[in-house]
Amino acid sequence: MYNNPVLDRLPRHLTDLIIEKPYNSYTWQDHSIWRYVMKQNVAFLKDKAHAAYLSGLKKTGISIDQIPDIQTMNDILKTIGWGAVTVDGFIPPAAFMEFQANNVLVIAADIRPIDQVEYTPAPDIIHEAAGHAPIIADEEYAAYLKYFGEIGSKAFSSAADYELYEAIRYLSILKADPHASNAQIDLAVQLLEAKESNLGIPSEMAYIRNLHWWTVEYGLVGDLNHPKIYGAGLLSSIGESAGALSDRVKKLPYTIDAVYYNFDITKPQPQLFVTPDFGYLTEVLDTFASRMALRKGGVEGILKAVESGSVATCAYSSGLQVSGVFQDYILHQNQPAYIKTTGPTMLSYNNSQLEGHGVTYHAHGFGSPIGSIKGTLKPPRFLNDDDLKEVGIEKDKKANFEFESGVKVSGVLKSCVRKEGKLLLLSFTDCLVKYQDQILFEPSWGVFDMAVGESIVSAYTGPADADAFGLSYPVPKEKTHQILYTSQQLELHQHYGQLRQMRNADSFSNLNLQLMQSLLNTYSDEWLLMLELLELAVDKKVDEGLNTALVNNLLRLKQEQPKLDGLISRGLKLFQL
pLDDT of amino acid 372: 96
| 226 confidence band (pLDDT: 50, 70, 90) | very high
Supply the angle between the helices 565-574 and 544-560 in degrees, to the nearest 10.
150
| 233 confidence band (pLDDT: 50, 70, 90) | confident
pLDDT of amino acid 576: 63
- Please give the model's pTM, rounded to 2 decimal places: 0.89
| 477 confidence band (pLDDT: 50, 70, 90) | confident
**What three-state secondary structure class fits 224?**
coil
Q: End-to-end CA distance of the chain: give it in Å, rounded.
A: 46
Q: 156: how many CB neighbours lie within 10 A of its CB?
A: 26
Q: Is residue 494 a contact partner of residue 383, using CB atoms and an 8 Å limit?
A: no
**Percentage of residues in the chain with pLDDT exceeding 70?**
99
Express each pLDDT in 100-112 by its tens digit.
Answer: 999 999 988 889 8
- What lies within 8 Å, CB to CB, of 272 at 6+ separation is 214, 218, 219, 220, 231, 244, 249, 250, 251, 252
- What lies within 8 Å, CB to CB, of 349 at 6+ separation is 319, 320, 321, 419, 424
**What three-state secondary structure class fits 549?**
helix
Q: Is residue 97 a contact partner of residue 156, using CB atoms and an 8 Å limit?
A: no
Strands (E), 436-534: 438-441, 448-451, 456-461
pLDDT at 21 over 90: no
Q: What is the mean pLDDT of residues 67-82?
A: 89
Q: φ, ψ for residue 216 (rounded to 5)?
A: -60, -35
Distances from the Cα of 268 to the Cα of 119, 167, 566, 569, angstroms: 9, 19, 16, 21
Strands (E), 333-471: 335-349, 352-353, 367-369, 398-402, 407-419, 422-435, 438-441, 448-451, 456-461
- What lies within 8 Å, CB to CB, of 380 at 6+ separation is 318, 371, 372, 373, 423, 452, 453, 454
**What three-state secondary structure class fits 393?**
coil
pLDDT at 524 over 90: yes
Half-sphere exposure of 106 (CA within 13 A, CB side): 26
pLDDT of amino acid 240: 80
pLDDT of amino acid 318: 97
pLDDT of amino acid 121: 73
Q: Are strands 250-253 and 271-275 parallel, antiparallel or unpaired?
A: parallel
**What three-state secondary structure class fits 432?**
strand
| 1 confidence band (pLDDT: 50, 70, 90) | low
Residues 536-539: contacts with CB under 8 Å, at least 24 apart: 536/499, 536/502, 536/503, 538/575, 538/577, 539/503
| 317 confidence band (pLDDT: 50, 70, 90) | very high
What is the rounded CA–CA span in Å between residue 224 and residue 203?
30
Query: For the chain, how are helix, strand and coil distributed in percent, rounded to 5?
Result: 45, 20, 35
- Pick 253 or 540 by higher pLDDT: 253
148: buried, middle or exposed (CB in 10 Å: 19+, 13-18, 0-12)?
A: buried
pLDDT of amino acid 197: 80
pLDDT at 99 over 70: yes
List beta partners, residue 329: 339
pLDDT at 24 over 80: yes
From 460, 448, 418, select the one nearest 314 (Cα to Cα). 460
* Of the listed ranges 297-311, 421-435, 536-550, the one predicted with least confidence: 536-550
Express each pLDDT in 85-97 by its tens digit.
Answer: 999 888 888 899 9
Q: Is residue 199 a contact partner of residue 210, using CB atoms and an 8 Å limit?
A: no
- What lies within 8 Å, CB to CB, of 345 at 6+ separation is 322, 323, 324, 359, 362, 365, 366
Residue type, 301: G
pLDDT of amino acid 367: 97
What is the rounded CA–CA span in Å between residue 2 and residue 16?
14
What is the rounded CA–CA span in Å between residue 373 and residue 275?
49
What is the rounded CA–CA span in Å between residue 40 and residue 572?
11
What is the rounded CA–CA span in Å between residue 396 and residue 417?
15
What is the rounded CA–CA span in Å between residue 256 and residue 266?
24
